[in-house]
Structures are given as structure tokens and as C-alpha cells.
Amino acid sequence: MAEDRKGFKIKEDKLGEVKIADEVVAIIAGLASTEVEGVSSMAGNITNELVSKLGMKNLSKGIRVDVKDGVVRVDVALNIAYGFAVLDVSTKVQEKVKTAIENMTGLEVSGVNVRIASVDMGKSK
């Protein structure tokens, strides 16, 4: 793993250790979020928006991950499709992200905060 990346240890035994980069957890959260019906896309800052328009896909766009002592807190910013109930979509995103991270990494998820950044008028029910 590159020295400049933030990461954390998820396992250590006599065979060695397993480390995972924060970005991997963010990518898991991003993929899980976009699988929920009603999520149009992930929101990001202006740099991420420009990168995605140039054709380079950033799967962790709109995700912030904070890991302390094996417990994960995730902030997700997304764009919702017009016609979907914000509360329903947000709740499904929270559940899906929590389940995906816990199943794939074995880490405990203490919270998933969802921020709706915009409504996509081009995609609706």
C-alpha cells in the first residue's frame, strides 16, 4: 500500500496483517449507494465533477470515511432523481451502505449520514 494513502489494519495474525485503504471503504459505499433506486448519481466537489466529465470515473466521489478503532462513520452526498421520496431513498442508502461495508470489510459501521445535494430533473420514476 502506498505510504501517502490513509489506511487501517483490519486483521493481524501469525501469517501477517491485512490493511485496507480508506478509499476502498469509500468505493464500497459509493457503489452501494448508486444501487438504490432513486439515486441519480453521487455528488462531489467541483474537481470531482470536472474529472467525471472528462471521462475518468471516481467511484468514491461524494463519500467521506472516518475510521477510528475499527469503527466506520460514513458521509454520503448524492443527487436524487425527481419523483422519489427523499426520506425513503435516504433510509435505503443508509441500510445498503452499512450492510455492504460490514459484509465486505468486517468493520462495524456506527453511522451513515446522507446529504441530498440536488434533484436530478432528467431522471424520474
Residue 51 has pLDDT above 70, yes or no: no
**For all residues of the chain together, what is the average pLDDT?**
83
How does residue 23 score in pLDDT terms, banded at 50, 70 and 90?
A: confident
Q: Does domain 7-124 have CATH number 3.30.70.1350?
A: yes
Residue 46 has pLDDT above 50, yes or no: no
Residue 112 has pLDDT above 60, yes or no: yes
Provide mean pLDDT across the span 84-91. 96
Distance CA 35, CA 43 (A): 15
Beta strands 108-124 and 71-82: pairing type? parallel
- Going by C-alpha positions, the residue among 48, 77, 67 that lies closest to residue 110 is 67
Return the pLDDT at 86: 95
Provide mean pLDDT across the span 8-15. 81
